[in-house]
Amino acid sequence: MMLPVDLARLIRAAWVLAREGVINALPLPEPRPFAVSAALIMAKAIRRRGTASRAERLSIAFSRLGPSYVKLGQFLATRPDVVGAALAADLAELQDAMPDFGLTGARMVIGESFGLDADRLFPELGAPIAAASIAQVHKAAVTDRDGRRRDVAVKVLRPGIDRRIASDLAGFYLAARLIEALAPRVRRLRPVAVVDTLARSLTLEMDLRLEASALSEMAQNTAEDADFRVPTVDWRRTSRSVLTMEWIDGIKLSDVAAIRAAGHDLPKLAATLLQSFLRHALRDGFFHADMHQGNLFVDSAGRIVAVDFGIVGRLGPRERRFLAEILHGFITRNYRRVAEVHFEAGYVPPEQELETFAQALRAVGEPLHGVPASEIAMSRLLNQLFETTELFAMQTRPELILLQKTMVVVEGVARSLDPDLDMWKVSEPVVSAWITRNLGPIGRIETAVSAVGDLIALAPRLPRLFDAIETIAIRTEAVDESRRRRRTVALPLWVGALSLAVIAASSLGWL
């Protein structure tokens, strides 16, 4: 249902964005809807004149519209297939920096969250040191029961942010539905599904207990990793609106000069960052999905420390296999296998031609080989893949959006440390190790053992399953049919059931 208040907010947002050049830069299909054209004409007439770049104007527009739109802008920066490469590049410069809500506001949120005065939990709570669209961060000192004093970082949600997010999301959904209704050509991009992904991400971000849980899970996954870690969580001082964690003394990866001055190996750090991300995605199926420079530090031991786990991504076993094989195919220039994986994954409609798709992938991959490493960019690869998806009527896969976004962000951070980073060479050990371990003999044995275990667990239910099949067969027959007729009908069902069991076992890889 189109609520007037949502429509009014959407019109205001469209006006602000059009005035700053956002809508005008979108790759809208022709002819553009009359309403959008009229808005652009009016907006152009009153557009600010000045020397500000479009990226600066975009930052002004999204910040003025509020926290949800800042998140939306950052999200669209990862979707050049939706907004175009040029606009995506400008949106990538959008910083999640908002005015803080002060120390008094933070004390109020902490008090309401725990039912205690903030001073009892945090005897030393400093002023905000960073403020973003969802929360702000303070440095504090606490005293444990054994009398030990330690520094902590305290993240506090903005007051009333949940109501603001819910209101803005209603407008986003309205816009997505209008786009699907008025622009049939972009339906394959699944605008509503894209907003679903953004909405889920924002909802999770607004419960800091979930971020604490993500930190804990990542710590467990990386316990044996010598070059990557995350802060420990202070669960006693963590709630839905407050997250308390270990204070990190380190250098932000954005401060390249300070990292170099501290004697750290910049190319090694760049390789560690990229390999850590791939290891998390492939090995664990769980990765930090907001790995920009402000969320990454290097400690005195040379380890990368990641903070701010408000956005995380997950990949199931199938998606991890598809990712590994696609990357390995590009690395080894086996474009037919890359094409086959796309068909197996359902990314490409079955009516498309495999060989033609492999040819298109070769056109994407070959220009990336035999050129200086500094000229190879994951973002370029993804942009070309997006163009190919339209040619072959591929549907947007919402579950892969965060992965695509993070790959581009990680590449950018890694190249800021090492401009000559060879993406393929650095990625190859992690990808090849995963394929050898999971798709080689050991992985097949483990899959077979798992399949046998599943079948053993299913075995006690088979008699009841067959009884149910026979009962259905009998009930579907006429009462006056002969016993011979019942057996004639039941036999194919038994054969069919056994055939399904064989097919299932075969699909699990142990027949």
Tell me which residues are annotated as active site: 290
- Separation CA 114–CA 335 (nearest Å): 56
CA distance linking residue 110 with residue 497, whole number of Å: 59
Cis peptide bond upstream of 429, omega within 30: no
Q: Is the dihedral of CA 105, 106, 110, 111 positive or negative?
A: negative
Residue 108 CB burial class (10 angstroms; 0-12, 13-18, ≥19): middle
Phi, psi of 54 (to 5 degrees): -65, -35
Helices (H), 117-226: 118-121, 161-182, 191-205, 208-221
> CA–CA separation, 169 vs 175, rounded Å?
10
* CA 170 – CA 166 distance, rounded (Å): 6
Angle between helices 401-417 and 191-205 (to 10 degrees): 70
Residue 20: name the closest of 69, 79, 80 by CA: 69
- Which of 388-427 are b and which e, b meaning 16 or more Cβ less than 10 Å from the residue's Cβ? bbeebebebbbebbbbbbbbbbbbbbbbebbeebebbebb
- Beta strands across the sheet bearing 251-252: 228-229, 304-306, 296-298, 251-252
Q: How far apart are CA 293 and CA 312, in angstroms?
A: 16
Rounded-to-integer distance, Cα 442 and Cα 437, Å: 6
Side chain identity, residue 165: I
| Structure letter (DSSP) for residue 460 | G
Residue 380's nearest CA partner among 396, 392, 369, 393 is 369
* Euclidean distance between the first and the last CA atom of the chain, given in angstroms as a whole number: 52
Region of 495 (left: φ > 0; alpha: ψ -120 to 50; beta: rest) is alpha
Is 395:315 a contact under the CB 8 Å cutoff?
no
Amino acid at 485: R
DSSP classification of residue 29: P
